[in-house]
């Protein structure tokens, strides 16, 4: 067979183009293999569990049916949020009775439908199933219809042009800002029941939680909180917690003096189911107020929330599930940011959620979930991860375990250090502290504290010294170095030491080696102290506090006082203080201070025998400018401006392995 010349030419081209394209495709696929391939593994919530995933798709809200799986073949249907309205009658009676009545009146039908039943199913439900279904529905007291365009709905920002406000409104706006350190004016415009986006990772909606979850008391401490912010916290919990799981909300008033928190709040709370109000007779501070709230609560689990939060869809079950599986699990939700300026909710995917840590000044910080912990969870970012410490504002703990741990140190005053105390003793006394990425709670982060405390005593330091004395063993010296060994009067800690002995808690070294192996221990260093230029009395100087990072390292007259001129050369060849490291990326001549990443690269420095500080990544050296004003990266020249005096001794103090 003879083809025309043009066709022959085409066939000839295809002969090599086709294999070439195939080859290119294979190469491309190999390069482009997604790093999260592990996510294709079966989505089992507990690593030991062999249970199957629920049969229903993630959005079917088949919550109700988890209690009677035999009904799973019933078709489900979802009613949009706008269709919600008053569902639970407004009485403070026995819940079961209320719900039974409601069922008989047909008021529960909508709820059952919303949570998955179709009408046919509804009529076929057994009476006890109806009650069960109702108990798993949210509490929803007095929930109004939601206007999707109202300010702040779906967590959207409320932007106010202050220039367009009347003088009176402007005054209100400024007062709100001043009293609360957040935009109360914007908050007051937003519904107390505002809708939020479902911000969970998609896998979270497929997890099947324990059928028999423990119930909980939510304990909320407030002091001079704005009305709309406090009540939005309360309603978000009522609106988004299954009735059966929420035993009560206990509001503890830490001696507020705002008028709206007096009689008006009494009256408002009296109308809400499950909510009670405890008034403290004097200003007690967060720690003692929490103990007071806990002591009157009765739920199997206590959940502490700040008074400026918003619980999101599905927040409760993942927390209770972990405690239901083991009462010594202490769990923290993801804390999403509610903007203090405009009340927008900003949230992050599970893989960006960070773990809690601390520095040797015993201040809490955040850090990335380390590789070994990610690996332990098969890189399933939505599964609970172990965290060395918690931020402290929001967490859940079983009643039994909190009591066993002696609650908080009652000698702690007001605020501060209590989060680390509870974190350390959870780990050291047989528990596990976890962050649960499927549980999200929004929290307003403020730039300043609007509250007044009595002056004179540094309560945070006093609390922290108590913490160090009782829990840190020989490692307390690292903290005391930070406060110049000036401990002050920290009271009597013998009771707390006795508690630790009785519980036979493990050592702080065990904690460091097993729970927080990433923490940098100052003794793990090869040089320490000031880094002084040999030509001029100028020192390398920089602040490494978390909010000061990403700034250049500067030159400053040596002051011999440690502080921002104290540096350690780690055995990993970092120049660091706490979690802040010298980092040179090239481009400009500046060295910047970044969070240490432990991967060498930009953060690797060699203090050579000729007293130069060499950066292998760029093959450059650290140099003081001729006028002494700047520290720069330059070609290595062995000039005296590139020579630095630094003591080649490790920092004093206990080591990890002794």
| Min separation Cβ 308 and Mn ion, Å | 6
Rounded (10°) angle between helices 459-471 and 494-502: 40
Q: Are strands 246-253 and 216-222 parallel, antiparallel or unpaired?
A: parallel
Does 418 contact Mn ion by CB under 5 A? no
CA dist., res. 428 & res. 418, Å (int): 15
| Min separation Cβ 394 and Mn ion, Å | 8
Q: Which is nearer to Mn ion, 222 or 401 (CB)?
A: 222
| Min separation Cβ 307 and Mn ion, Å | 8
Work out the angle at residue 238's Cα, subtended by the Cα atoms of residues 254 and 234, and round it to the nearest 5 degrees.
Answer: 25
**Torsional class of 215: left (φ above 0), alpha (ψ -120 to 50), beta (otherwise):** beta
Q: Which of 393, 417, 580, 595 binds Mn ion (CB under 5 A)?
A: 393
CA dist., res. 285 & res. 459, Å (int): 11
Q: Distance of CA 125 to CAs 46, 68, 76, 134, 243, Å?
A: 32, 11, 14, 12, 19
**Contact present, 312 and 442 (Cβ < 8 Å):** yes
Nearest CA-CA partner of 273 in 301, 234, 219? 234
Q: Which is nearer to Mn ion, 87 or 234 (CB)?
A: 234
> Which single residue is written with the structure tokens 């809200």?
61
CA dist., res. 190 & res. 182, Å (int): 14
Q: Distance of CA 52 to CAs 208, 211, 587, Å?
A: 8, 14, 53
**Contact present, 608 and 621 (Cβ < 8 Å):** no
Number of Cβ within 10 Å of residue 190's Cβ equals: 20
CA dist., res. 64 & res. 76, Å (int): 11
For Mn ion (CB under 5 A), the number of binding residues is 2
Q: Which is nearer to Mn ion, 221 or 468 (CB)?
A: 221
Does 623 contact Mn ion by CB under 5 A? no
Q: Which is nearer to Mn ion, 420 or 540 (CB)?
A: 420
Q: Residues 296 to 315: which contact Mn ion by CB under 5 A?
A: 306
| Min separation Cβ 612 and Mn ion, Å | 48
CA dist., res. 318 & res. 612, Å (int): 54
Q: Which is nearer to Mn ion, 45 or 304 (CB)?
A: 304
Q: Which is nearer to Mn ion, 8 or 446 (CB)?
A: 446
Q: Residues 199 to 228: which contact Mn ion by CB under 5 A?
A: none
Segment contacting Mn ion (CB under 5 A): 56-64, 252-260, 393-401, 416-424?
393-401
| Min separation Cβ 466 and Mn ion, Å | 22
Q: Which is nearer to Mn ion, 53 or 391 (CB)?
A: 391
> Which single residue is written with the structure tokens 């403070």?
92
The two tokens of residue 309 are: 């939060």
**Contact present, 317 and 245 (Cβ < 8 Å):** yes
Q: 103-142 mask for Mn ion (x: CB under 5 A)? A: ----------------------------------------
Q: Which is nearer to Mn ion, 306 or 530 (CB)?
A: 306
| Min separation Cβ 354 and Mn ion, Å | 17
| Min separation Cβ 351 and Mn ion, Å | 25
Does 357 contact Mn ion by CB under 5 A? no
Segment contacting Mn ion (CB under 5 A): 77-85, 239-247, 387-395, 563-571?
387-395
Q: Which is nearer to Mn ion, 151 or 393 (CB)?
A: 393
CA dist., res. 530 & res. 569, Å (int): 11
Q: Residues 550 to 579: which contact Mn ion by CB under 5 A?
A: none
| Min separation Cβ 393 and Mn ion, Å | 5
- Which residues contact Mn ion (rule: CB under 5 A)? 306, 393
């Amino acid at each position: 067979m003879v083809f025309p010349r043009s066709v022959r030419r085409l066939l000839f081209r295809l002969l090599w183009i086709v294999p070439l394209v195939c080859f290119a495709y294979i190469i491309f696929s190999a390069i482009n293999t997604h790093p999260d391939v592990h996510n294709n593994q079966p989505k089992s919530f507990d690593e030991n569990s062999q249970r199957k995933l629920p049969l229903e798709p993630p959005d079917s809200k088949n919550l109700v049916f988890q209690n009677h799986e035999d009904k799973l073949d019933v078709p489900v249907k979802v009613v949009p949020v706008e269709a919600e309205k008053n569902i639970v009658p407004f009485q403070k009676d026995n819940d079961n009775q209320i719900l039974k009545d409601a069922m008989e009146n047909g008021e529960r039908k909508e709820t059952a439908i919303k949570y998955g039943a179709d009408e046919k199913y509804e009529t076929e439900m057994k009476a006890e199933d109806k009650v069960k279904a109702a108990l798993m529905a949210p509490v929803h007291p007095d929930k109004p219809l939601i206007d999707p365009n109202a300010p702040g709905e779906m967590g959207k920002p409320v932007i106010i042009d202050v220039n367009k406000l009347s003088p009176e409104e402007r005054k209100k706006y400024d007062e709100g800002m001043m009293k609360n350190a957040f935009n109360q004016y914007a908050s007051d415009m937003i519904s107390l029941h505002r809708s939020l986006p479902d911000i969970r990772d998609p896998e979270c909606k497929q997890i099947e939680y324990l059928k028999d979850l423990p119930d909980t008391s939510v304990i909320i401490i407030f002091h001079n909180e704005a009305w709309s912010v406090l009540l939005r916290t309360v309603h978000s919990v009522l609106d988004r917690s299954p009735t059966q799981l929420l035993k009560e909300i206990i509001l503890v008033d830490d001696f507020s003096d705002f008028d709206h928190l007096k009689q008006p709040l009494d009256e408002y709370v009296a109308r809400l189911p499950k909510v009670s109000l405890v008034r403290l007779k004097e200003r007690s501070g967060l720690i003692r107020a929490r103990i007071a709230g806990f002591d009157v609560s009765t739920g199997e689990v206590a959940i502490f929330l700040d008074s400026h939060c918003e619980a999101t869809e599905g927040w409760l079950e993942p927390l209770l599930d972990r405690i239901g599986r083991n009462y010594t699990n202490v769990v923290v939700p993801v804390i999403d940011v509610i903007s203090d300026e405009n009340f927008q909710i900003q949230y992050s995917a599970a893989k960006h959620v960070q773990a809690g840590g601390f520095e040797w000044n015993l201040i809490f910080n955040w850090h990335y979930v380390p590789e070994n912990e990610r690996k332990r969870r098969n890189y399933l970012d939505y599964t609970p991860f172990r965290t060395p410490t918690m931020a402290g504002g929001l967490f859940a703990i079983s009643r039994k375990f909190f009591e066993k741990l002696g609650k908080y140190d009652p000698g702690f005053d007001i605020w501060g250090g209590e989060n680390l105390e509870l974190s350390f003793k959870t780990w050291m006394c047989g528990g596990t502290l976890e962050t649960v990425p499927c549980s999200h709670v929004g929290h307003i982060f403020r730039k300043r504290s609007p509250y007044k405390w009595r002056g004179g005593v540094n309560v945070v330091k006093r609390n922290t010294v108590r913490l160090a004395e009782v829990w840190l063993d020989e490692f307390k010296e690292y903290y005391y170095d930070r406060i110049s060994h000036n401990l002050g009067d920290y009271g009597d800690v013998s009771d707390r030491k006795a508690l630790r002995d009785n519980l036979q808690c493990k050592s702080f070294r065990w904690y460091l080696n097993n729970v927080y192996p990433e923490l940098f221990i100052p003794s793990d260093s090869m040089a320490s102290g000031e880094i002084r230029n040999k030509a001029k009395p100028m020192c390398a100087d920089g602040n490494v506090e978390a909010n000061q990072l990403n700034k250049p390292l500067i030159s400053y007259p040596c002051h011999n006082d440690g502080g921002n001129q104290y540096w350690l050369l780690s055995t990993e060849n970092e120049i660091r203080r706490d979690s802040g490291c010298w980092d040179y990326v090239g481009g400009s001549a500046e060295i910047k201070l970044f969070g240490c990443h432990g991967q060498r690269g930009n953060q690797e420095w060699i203090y050579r025998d000729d007293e130069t500080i060499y950066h292998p990544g760029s093959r450059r050296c650290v140099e003081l400018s001729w006028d002494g004003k700047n520290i720069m990266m330059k070609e290595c020249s062995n000039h005296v401006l590139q020579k630095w005096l630094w003591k080649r001794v490790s920092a004093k103090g206990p080591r990890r392995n002794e």
